[in-house]
Amino acid sequence: MKIPNILEVIYAPLKALKKIAEHPTIVAPILVIIIYIVANMGYFYISASKVSLEQTVPVGLLENEWTQNSTLWTSNAQISQSDDFVNGTTYLSSQYYGNSSLVFSTNNNSQLSMELQGIGTVNCSNPNGYNKLSFRLKWTSPSIGPTNVSIRLFSANSSDNFYRSLTSDFAGSTVETWNNETILLASSEWSSSSTTADWGSITGLRMEFVWPESANVTVLLDGLFFHGLFISGFDLYGSGYLLNAALSSVMQFTLTWVILSGLIYLLAKFLGGTLVWRIALIATGVILITLFVLAILNAVGAALVSDLKYPFELAAGFKGEAAADAAYNKIVDQLFVPNLIWRYGLVAIHIWTTFLCAVIVRVLAGFTWTKSVLVGAMAYVINIIIGSLLFGIPIF
């Protein structure tokens, strides 16, 4: 049986399934599996190529290791860990912030410094490096904010560094409030200590705070990341991504095929039909060409997506924050038309496959159309419920 004969199920299902009943061959469903795998791999490739994920240093899923380990820091203050940490409300935010923050505390002092070294070498150069630095910071004492805040990024050694004032960024900040700071790197707002300072090899940082008078100072730091570099899903996972797509396609098809075949066979036999298991298995495998059509629809939807970027703020931000909400709303807008295709395409495929199940029962069991539709619908509904519960196959 050739592919053109398989495609006959799409436009002349009754005729095609009668041919299969007369001349059953396992080659038919195998061909369907093959074209489905190819189409689904195409869908995964298009999706992975269109979607870019913002990378961070350190890796976000390591729970913000720079603020989970006080031994990485030096300071004129005592350094400890606190269970007062940033508890984000967006996607994966708990992975980004971990379960503690750093505490820097000093008594009767008007200055506080914190320095991080030993981070390796981070490329922050334009256009292919990490171009942003973000952190969350708050003070619990004194009651007023610092009058001077600055940051230095070291390049190779402490004598080669970049400096920027952050005083205006913290103007008006209040005690006991987490401040969300995102700084653009390699910009004109930075000054360099020497001509050898290189944005392509950032090895550490230092922040300094000055208060108008001596006091007991306590500052908390969390969520320190370099970010701003986007990499597509395909570039991240490469050929292994397509291999996983192929394997998941085989698994999804095989499980759906076996479960749906068994349900059609058992329900028809229970109601007095005289089906042959081998023929029912082959016929069911052939009608699952609808999964191939679904994969094509998914690929079309993915192709319509403009380059989709999942930014740091969406994964590590807070619902209600301007940056996180703006990122979310932008993605929703970009996916509006593709989501319509995916959602209504899936509904159409469900209805179509249910009809083809009824045709199988009609041809193989000889039931009336009413009885065939009933058996086919019952088999398919039970099948998608089992698939959704056990294997994560979506119903709608």
CB 132 within 8 A of CB 226: yes
Residue 355 has a pLDDT of: 96
List the beta bridge partners of residue 43: none
Average pLDDT, the chain: 89
Asked, for residue 395, whether it belongs to a domain, the answer is: no
Residue at a domain's end among 199, 214, 231 = 231
pLDDT of residue 168: 93
pLDDT greater than 70 at residue 96: yes
108 lies in some domain: yes
Is 90 within the bounds of a domain?
yes
Distances (CA, A) of 146 to 82, 84, 381: 21, 21, 64
Residue 301 lies in a domain: yes
- Same domain, yes or no, for 266 and 191? no
Residues 94 and 132 in one domain: yes
Alpha-carbon span 140 to 372, nearest angstrom: 72
Domain extent for 179: 55-231
> Do residues 207 and 62 share a domain?
yes
396 part of a folded domain = no
Alpha-carbon distance 335 to 305, whole Å?
7
| CA distance linking residue 30 with residue 258, whole number of Å | 13
pLDDT in tens, 162-220: 999 999 999 888 899 999 899 999 999 999 998 889 999 999 999 999 999 999 999 99
* Domains contained in the chain, number: 2
| Residue 166 burial (C-beta neighbours within 10 Å; 0-12, 13-18, 19+) | buried
Tell how far CA 134 is from the center of its chain.
21
Tell whether 89 and 134 lie within a shared domain.
yes
Instruction: Compute the distance between CA of residue 225 and CA of residue 199 in angstroms, rounded to an integer.
Output: 16
C-alpha dist (Å) from residue 354 to 264, 348, 377: 11, 10, 5
> Which 8-state DSSP code applies to residue 80?
E
**For residue 292, what are the CA distances in angstroms to 34, 73, 242, 286, 298?**
9, 55, 17, 11, 10
Domain end (from 210, 231, 252): 231
Q: What are the beta bridge partners of residue 232?
A: 52
> Any idea which of 155-159, 291-295, 360-364 has the lowest mean pLDDT?
155-159
Q: Which amino acid is at 246?
A: A
Residue 132 half-sphere exposure, CB side, CA atoms within 13 Å?
Answer: 16
Q: Do 181 and 325 have their domain in common?
A: no
Domain assignment present for 213: yes
Confidence of residue 376 (pLDDT cuts 50, 70, 90): very high
Q: What are phi and psi of 303, to 5 degrees?
A: -65, -25
What predicted TM-score, i.e. pTM, was given to this entire model? 0.79
pLDDT at site 63: 62
Instruction: Identify any residues that bridge with 209 across adjacent strands, giving them in sequence order.
Output: 112, 149
What is the sign of the dihedral through the CA atoms of 132, 133, 138 and 144?
negative
140 and 18 within one domain: no
Handedness of CA 34, 37, 41, 47 (dihedral sign): positive
- 3-class DSSP assignment, residue 172: coil
Position 117 in a domain: yes
Report the Cα–Cα distance between both ends of the chain, in Å, rounded. Answer: 33
Cβ neighbours for 100, distance < 8 A, ≥ 6 positions apart? 67, 68, 81, 82, 83, 85
CATH value at residue 197: 2.60.120
User: Residues 195, 330: one domain?
Assistant: no
Let me know whether 298 and 198 are in one domain: no
Local confidence band at 64 (pLDDT 50, 70, 90 cut-offs): confident
Residue 373 located in a structural domain: yes
Same domain, 151 and 130: yes
Q: How confident is the model at residue 396 (pLDDT cuts 50, 70, 90)?
A: very low
Domain boundary among 169, 199, 231: 231
User: Looking at this protein, which amino acid is placed at residue 295?
Assistant: A
The answer to whether residues 48 and 59 belong to one domain is no
Burial of 57 (0-12, 13-18, 19+ CB in 10 A): buried
Do 150 and 123 belong to one domain?
A: yes
User: Are residues 244 and 223 located together in one domain of the fold?
Assistant: no
